[in-house]
Chain A
Amino acid sequence: MYRRFLSWRYLLRRPINLIGVTGITVGVGALIMIISIMSGFLEESRQTVRGSLADVVVQPTILPRSDGTFVPREAEPLLEALDADPRVAAASPHLTWGAMVTQGGWDAAQTEHRIKDPDRSDLVFAQLVGVDVAREFQATDLRRALEHESEFGSRVDDVEHPFARPASYDGEEPWAWIVVGEQLAQIHDLHKGSVVNLVTAMPDSLTGKAYPSNRKYLVAGTFRTGENEIDASRIYMDRWELSDFLSDQRQYTQVLVKLVDYAAVRDTIEADLGRELHDLGLLNSARSGEVRTWESYRRSLLGAIENERALMGVMLGLIILVAAFTVFAILMMMVTEKRRDIGILTALGATRRSILSIFLMIGMWNALLGSTLGAILGVLGAWRIDQIERWLSSTFHVQIFDRTVYLFDHIPAQVSPLIVVSTVIGALFFTALFSSIPAWLASRTHPIDALRAE
């Protein structure tokens, strides 16, 4: 008790401790604030990075299994297994293939021109996606993409049956109907009722040669997901139509899965579902990455941001380390300065342990005050970072955060209690570690030597 009394008194009577407290405040505050902002960026970027990816994609390899069998070429067994799974909310089969978009008649010259232009040639190539509309609506955001009103595109007449012949169509063409991305429509100047020619090639499993095939389609309307890449290159059509176009070689290439609670199973679903589906004979191998979460598709991107955050944490942790070292230096000074006091206290009956704890406590007061203040400032700073930045910008006329560079118009911050608590604990730990050396030295002081020193 007198240890607390004395350590507190020594702290207050030595303004130099302000340096220690300030150091820890700055370290803890900066760490919490920066990590919170980086977490905010990470979370915000995740939304952007994820785009329209499904929770989980199951994409069986069509190579022979180790037991010599093949996975079924039909999607139905896999869909049945997934539908029965309690973790799965919805599953939708995709047949995905690449094709070149060409146009005939007056537009042929346009197509030719685009193919020759190195800057634009990639725009000619499209991703064909065959879907089962009803299932697709359950598992993905396709309905919303179809319903989107836009300035360039034109909505399909009947969202429930996007590949049906539109009631408004009065032409004679017999081709099947497709829905194209809004930007793709704009590039190729496609409208409702436009005819496009899709050219593709399909490898033959027997001869090994690739056979080209092409087919004319009618544009039923456009969709808009908001993701550039998809809106500029994707074409939706009925899965059976696409399968037929591909000479019935494939019926599906992957199944998109929407989970009931993604967050709950994000770390285990790949392995669990992979093993279970493999045991049912629906995957080529249990561990070849045929089941992947959206995060594992975007691993490198997410990983980069997360790495950056970890690196930042380490670097700012160094500030705390330096601050703890400052406390060490201050305490070393105080132990020398208070040598006589140590002698007096011992003469009055203080034990070595008490002397040790007095000096340890001085260090801990520094850490406690500093990290509490730092935590408060850090959390407030993170919550108010947007206002702070605006104020700094308007006061000093420098732009710190360029809102045009990012996809969000505010500085995002996400304060995690875990980060706050672990930062505070870290600061306390390092200060305790560094304080223990001077405190130990203090406790080893011989009382009479200390008293004689004048």
Chain B
Amino acid sequence: MGTPPDPSLALCARDVRKSFQIGGREIEVLHGAHLELKCGERLCLMGASGAGKSTFLHVLGLLEEPTEGEVWLQGKSAWTLSMADRAALRNRHIGFVFQAYYLLPDLSALENVVLPVRIAHSYGSVRFNKSRHEAEAAELLTKFGLGERLRHRPNQLSGGERQRVAVARALILGPEILIADEPTGNLDTGTGERVLDLILDEQRERALSLLLVTHDQRLSRRCDRTLIMEDGQIQADSTVVIPQ
């Protein structure tokens, strides 16, 4: 196990390798990827389709175990922790926004947003109070322009509305890190633009460490840094610092 990284890093990945078993053959998708996400930084990750961006994000988001390598956050090497500790870490410190929203269809928008708080309650890290947390969630949703949609179920919402609910859910517990995998990929340009504005506004307001995967060149210009992933590796020379 390596040494703990600089505490100014919100997230740090070292030499991450990941292979999948496909039809008896082992195929390595990530060939030793590095990443350092500074606190309060907007980091954009780009790359060709199939380059392994999503896979890398899943490893960073503690959803997919790497074959090799380590992921540090909160001063801990996350993949050496027990499964339950890692789940608690994921719950409390990482917000994840997926391309396909991934809301629970049986819960209303409001209930979906409150769900992470309920889960946090089971770890004892938050004391769940239904009226207080629902009010909090309603406030967030109202801010996102969904004040009239609180009791709607996901299938009664448009794509853009669903993604805004998903963003609210990712932020409700106030995580330090927000990981977004092509959050606008399923949306038309106008709608995507608004969702993205909302994410970036929140990032600034909350001083979040944002890791964003996108195919959109214009978007990378709104980030502090852009990394390029190519064939399972972060290109060493790809770091582009774009002044605001």
Contact = CB atoms under 8 A, between A and B. Distances in A.
Contact of A346 (B63, B92, B116, B118): B63
Contact of A1 (B90, B91, B105, B128): B128
Q: Is the interface of B mostly helix, strand, loop or mixed?
A: helix
A9 B118 CA distance: 14
B63 A349 contact: no
Contacts, number: 67
Contact of B115 (A13, A346, A348, A454): A348
Given A2-B122, A354-B122, A448-B58, A348 B106 contact: no
B189 to A, nearest CB: 24
B64 interface: yes
A353 interface: yes
Contacts of B83: 351-352
Interface size class, chain B? 20 to 34
Contact of B119 (A10, A349, A447, A451): A349
B102 A351 contact: no
A351 B84 contact: yes
Contact of B102 (A2, A5, A344): A344
Given A348-B116, A349-B88, A10 B106 contact: yes
A454 B98 CA distance: 14
Interface in A236-267: none
A447 B96 CA distance: 13
B117 to A, nearest CB: 9
A11 B122 CA distance: 21
Interface in A335-374: 340-341, 343-354
Contacts of A345: 104, 119
Contacts of B121: 1-2
Given A346-B87, A349-B88, A9 B122 contact: no
Contact of B87 (A1, A3, A343, A349): A349
Nearest to B170: A348
Contacts of A348: 90-91, 115-116, 119, 169
Nearest to B153: A13
A447 B115 contact: no
Interface string B23-44: 0000000000000000000000
A355 to B, nearest CB: 10
A349 B107 contact: no
Given A2-B118, A349-B119, A447 B63 contact: yes
B106 A9 contact: yes
Nearest to A9: B106
B196 interface: no
B122 A1 contact: yes
Contacts of A344: 102-104
A9 B104 CA distance: 11
B16 to A, nearest CB: 15
A228 B74 CA distance: 91
B161 to A, nearest CB: 17
Interface in B96-155: 96, 98, 100, 102-107, 115-116, 118-123, 128
Contacts of B63: 346-347, 447-448
Contact of A5 (B61, B91, B103, B118): B118
B92 to A, nearest CB: 7
Contacts of A343: 102
A334 to B, nearest CB: 11
Nearest to B89: A349
13 contacts: A1-B122, A340-B102, A344-B102, A347-B63, A348-B119, A349-B88, A349-B91, A349-B116, A350-B87, A351-B84, A448-B58, A451-B102, A454-B100
Interface of B: 58, 61, 63-64, 83-84, 87-88, 90-92, 96, 98, 100, 102-107, 115-116, 118-123, 128, 169
Nearest 3 Cβ contacts at the A-B interface = A349-B91, A2-B118, A351-B87
